[in-house]
Amino acid sequence: MTLQEMINSLDDLSQKDMTFLFEILCLKLSDLEIDNKEQMIDDDDTFWDMTLRFREQMEKEGIEFTDEDFANLRDRNTGREVTF
């Protein structure tokens, strides 16, 4: 179901169900705000601090990069054709 389909289906909900959905969404949003505040960058953070935090997050999520991930990324196109 797409987001638009979910929005359209709200018209079919009872007032009680809409209120319940609203309360759940408010709770989820408050959880997101708390998570975002914890992840905010301090003005005192150095590049190295941010790099270490990035590496920790990558490790926590189990994401690994290899040379194969970056193979053939370069655009070898010479650019647009120029006529004089």
pLDDT along the chain (84 residues), means of 10: 83 88 87 65 78 90 87 84 85
8 Å CB contact between 14 and 22: no
| DSSP-derived secondary structure letter, 62 | T
First to last CA, the chain: 54
pTM comes to: 0.37
User: What is the pLDDT at residue 42?
Assistant: 60
